[in-house]
Structure 1
Amino acid sequence: MDKNRLTTAINTNHTVYNTNKLYHNSSPTVVSIPNDDIHIHETDRFLNEHASSNILSDLPRSRNLDETDENELPFPGFVDQVFYCLKQTTTPRYQCLRLITWPWFERISMLVILLNCITLGMYQPCVHLAGSQVSKKCDAARCIWLQATDYFIFGFFTIEMCIKMTAMGIFGKGTYLAETWNRLDCFIVVAGLVESLIPGDNLSLSAIRTVRVLRPLRAINRVPSMRILVMLLLDTLPMLGNVLLLCFFVFFIFGIVGVQLWKGLLRNRCFLQLNMTTIPNHPLFDDFPERPFYMPPDQDSFVCSHPQSSGMTKCLEIPKLRKGNMTCELDFYAVREQIVNDYNKPINGCINWNQYYKFCNVSDKNPYSGSISFDNIGLAWVVIFQIISLESWVNIMYYIQDAHSFWDWIYFVFLIIIGSFFMINLCLVVIAT
């Protein structure tokens, strides 16, 4: 037992001694590196060639090294070359690109558009044409100033389009005409150019001049929030297709019902039944009516119904004729007989000509200058649109009731509930969702 302990202690001391000798007696070791510059250069050349070959092998064969990274272009958002010769570094195109990317470029364009809106609103053709109406020359000072401003605005829009076409290109992906709003701008400028080239003042030129009203729409492309709103509304059009188709069928059914029930009834008028050849030459008959049927002084039309129909208005309900504050009470036949017997005898009062409009028949005119009728499906749709817009629908209902029946109000109530309250709100729900 003691002998083993002694052997363990000796081994432990020997290990500690060797360890201390390793740490305390160790000396620094110097490693010599050979100075071979030729070998280093050859190694670098091999690595560079190997790296370049790997990069080129990863690229498509048809791709140019200048186009390996689009972000290396001076203006990354635009095409590299336009018109087959103008690169982004070419001086004319480079200056145009700098100009259209300048923040104040769009701001100045927006101010010109607002100025155009003001000048369009200030123009008054009847006032500004101070000369002869045949020549239609702009003679007033205000008109001359507005015309000069319009030339300036048109020139600015033309220069702006040319600068953008030079910077972006005309045709192809990412070019000027690739965007819809730029096409609208181009159409407005071309229409103004055609207007300035056509001499004279005719109907076709006037139609081209109406394109000026589209110039304020250029502001939509300059205001991002407005542009997003318009694009959202355009995106809802496909979703509105089914709703509009449903509206078409509903209004088509209402139109057919209206045509079947009331075709030609709104033309009913009370015609005059009087022998005009027997009227003597007397001042009392100078106010004889020249209209073949009755027209009320305070209404558009007087629609009647036949005596055997269930309409609410008959020709016998026509009020008496009034002249100022006096109501006419005299009868034509009694006055004529009295004048024949004694021509010089004074007669007080006036003849009630309205009492002779007592024959209800179909005329050639509809109410509101012929715009309100159910004679065909097209005119019926016009009436239905006016009814669902709640514009004077009560007057239309009264005319129908006068000519047909009191119970026609059911048609109008259902049309307003379905068309005005349900269909229109359904379109709004589709847009909102």
Structure 2
Amino acid sequence: MAEDGGNLSEDQNGREAEGGPSLPRTFIRLNDLSEASAGGEETLPYPTLAPVVFFYLKQTTRPRSWCLKMVCNPYPFWSRASMLVILLNCVTLGMFHPCEDIDCDSERCKILQDFDDFIFAFFAVEMVIKMVALGIFGKKCYLGDTWNRLDFFIVLAGMLEYSLNLQNVSFSAVRTVRVLRPLRAINRVPSMRILVTLLLDTLPMLGNVLLLCFFVFFIFGIVGVQLWAGLLRNRCFLPENFSKPLTLELHNYYHTENDDENPFICSQPRENGMRLCSSLPKLHEEGLQCKMDMSAYNATDNTTCVNWNQYYTNCSAGEVNPFKGAINFDNIGYAWIAIFQVITLEGWVDIMYFVMDSHSFYNFIYFILLIIVSSDDPKLGTSLWPASPSRAAATRSC
């Protein structure tokens, strides 16, 4: 080997003297690799992380070196323990009864509270370990990652909750942050984290779709307001000059059994609706159909079966809309609520019947067009809403 090395060096010197090409520089670097490494700087155990944190903690300093091994180990025990604690947190949150555990006097509530204290302590210790290992501020540090910021916010909210409990202050809004704890699992599972990140990155691309949906809502909402504003408040009232017996209690307008969800909405004379006050059903008392008029009513003997429904003949606008006032077309805001319920295909038939009863039979065209344009049902053809990744993948596989 020594002779070979000597011959190579002599050949190289001879070629340089003769002006011929020298050996490749890579060959020389391979031979000088030991010298180069000896003269170079000391390599860091984790080159991608900050060399020094907290002004004096190096990567080889013991408190930080332990934390780095726990955080950067390919198969860390700490990550698996963190997933188990997150699953335990999901179980405890599901077992909590907000209405029964206000004062937390029961044994079950105290056990759940102990588990919650342990879970919070674990998350706080995990945050401190990551801060010591990675540092706090910086590109590769703890707060440089978005999911770590979520963990930091959850732990900070938990600290605020415990501090308020010590001060005997009720701040229930802070407790709602507990529901964000299961989201920490996204940061522990790499595949789930990639999928959620891709989903969030695609949201800005849906701007044009959202703009188109806004125009559809706006156009259909304006049409609904112009045609049916105030019509869903139509009810059959008693005439203004109607004089009822003093001992008799009657409603101002006709009420059905479930008047909030299934009211009797009538059509005014100027409209061409499908329901008129003349089509009110007859009154039933004790299983018998009342057919008498008011002249047969006996104030002293209240056993006369009078059909009082026949006197509700004045169809006019009242003050109550169906479903506790939520469904109507009185303004553009309520119209959007009704349109959104229609495109979800939940209870849209009732809304269509209300409109047809109060305005016109041909209003069904409006709802059919709205469902065809906006619904996400594949049986109805195209849709404004973009297909989900799972549906698109299933379509491609078929």
Identify whether the pair has TM-score above 0.5, normalized to the shorter chain.
yes
> What displacement does 1:225 show?
1.7
Could you say if the C-alpha distance between residues 77 and 106 of structure 1 is closer, same or farther in structure 2, counting changes exceeding 3 Å? farther
Aligned residue in 2 for 1:46: none
Residue 174 of structure 2: SS of its match in structure 1? helix
Return the letter of the residue paired with 1:374: F
Residue 410 of structure 1: SS of its match in structure 2? helix
Q: Distance in 2 between matches of 1:153 and 1:108?
A: 11
* Preserved CA contact (<8 Å) 2:236 2:313: yes
> Mapping of 1:195-344 within 5 angstroms?
195-198=161-164, 199-200=167-168, 202=170, 205-273=171-239, 279-281=245-247, 285=248, 288-289=249-250, 291-299=251-259, 300=261, 301-336=263-298, 339=299, 343=300
* Preserved CA contact (<8 Å) 2:209 2:385: no
> What displacement does 1:156 show?
0.7
Q: How many residues in Structure 1 have an aligned counterpart in Structure 2?
A: 350
Q: Distance in 1 between matches of 2:195 and 2:295?
A: 73
In the alignment, structure 1 segments of 5+ residues that lack a partner are 1-50, 60-64, 129-135
Aligned residue in 2 for 1:423: 383
Q: Distance in 2 between matches of 1:196 and 1:350?
A: 67
TM-score by length of 2: 0.81
Could you say if the C-alpha distance between residues 147 and 394 of structure 1 is closer, same or farther in structure 2, counting changes exceeding 3 Å? same
Residue 127 of structure 1: SS of its match in structure 2? coil
Aligned residue in 1 for 2:6: none
Could you say if the C-alpha distance between residues 179 and 313 of structure 1 is closer, same or farther in structure 2, counting changes exceeding 3 Å? same
* Preserved CA contact (<8 Å) 1:233 1:431: no
For residue 405 of structure 1, the aligned residue among 360, 380, 385 is 360
* Preserved CA contact (<8 Å) 2:213 2:384: no
Return the letter of the residue paired with 1:88: Q
In the alignment, structure 2 segments of 5+ residues that lack a partner are 1-31, 377-381, 394-398
% identical aligned pairs = 54
* Preserved CA contact (<8 Å) 1:255 1:381: yes
* Preserved CA contact (<8 Å) 1:269 1:303: yes
1:370 aligns with 2:325: yes
> What displacement does 1:423 show?
2.9
Q: Distance in 2 between matches of 1:327 and 1:150?
A: 63
Aligned residue in 1 for 2:120: 154
Could you say if the C-alpha distance between residues 420 and 239 of structure 1 is closer, same or farther in structure 2, counting changes exceeding 3 Å? same
Return the letter of the residue paired with 1:396: I
Aligned residue in 2 for 1:25: none
TM-score by length of 1: 0.75
RMSD: 2.6
Aligned residue in 2 for 1:131: none
Aligned residue in 2 for 1:110: 83
Q: Deviations over 1:289-344 (max 9, x none)?
A: 2x3222210352221111231011111111112234222233223314xx5xxx4x
Could you say if the C-alpha distance between residues 401 and 231 of structure 1 is closer, same or farther in structure 2, counting changes exceeding 3 Å? same
Q: Distance in 1 between matches of 2:106 and 2:277?
A: 56
Aligned residue in 2 for 1:388: 343
Aligned residue in 2 for 1:183: 149
Return the letter of the residue paired with 1:379: Y
For residue 75 of structure 1, the aligned residue among 23, 34, 46 is 46
Could you say if the C-alpha distance between residues 429 and 194 of structure 1 is closer, same or farther in structure 2, counting changes exceeding 3 Å? closer
Could you say if the C-alpha distance between residues 165 and 429 of structure 1 is closer, same or farther in structure 2, counting changes exceeding 3 Å? closer
Could you say if the C-alpha distance between residues 244 and 431 of structure 1 is closer, same or farther in structure 2, counting changes exceeding 3 Å? farther
Aligned residue in 2 for 1:193: 159
Residue 184 of structure 2: SS of its match in structure 1? helix
1:101 aligns with 2:72: yes
Return the letter of the residue paired with 2:344: S
> What displacement does 1:363 show?
1.3
Deviates more, 1:78-87 or 1:180-189: 78-87
Return the letter of the residue paired with 1:78: L
Could you say if the C-alpha distance between residues 209 and 276 of structure 1 is closer, same or farther in structure 2, counting changes exceeding 3 Å? farther
* Higher Cα radius of gyration: 1
Return the letter of the residue paired with 1:304: C
> Mapping of 1:354-369 within 5 angstroms?
354-369=309-324
> What displacement does 1:73 show?
1.4
Could you say if the C-alpha distance between residues 431 and 280 of structure 1 is closer, same or farther in structure 2, counting changes exceeding 3 Å? closer
Deviates more, 1:266-275 or 1:222-231: 266-275
> What displacement does 1:163 show?
0.8
Q: Distance in 1 between matches of 2:128 and 2:218?
A: 50
> What displacement does 1:280 show?
4.5
Q: Distance in 2 between matches of 1:429 and 1:147?
A: 40
Residue 100 of structure 2: SS of its match in structure 1? helix
* Preserved CA contact (<8 Å) 1:400 1:408: yes
Could you say if the C-alpha distance between residues 238 and 430 of structure 1 is closer, same or farther in structure 2, counting changes exceeding 3 Å? farther
Return the letter of the residue paired with 2:294: F
Residue 361 of structure 1: SS of its match in structure 2? strand
Q: Distance in 1 between matches of 2:356 and 2:228?
A: 10
Return the letter of the residue paired with 1:316: S
Q: Deviations over 1:177-203 (max 9, x none)?
A: 11111111111111111111113353x
> What displacement does 1:77 show?
3.7
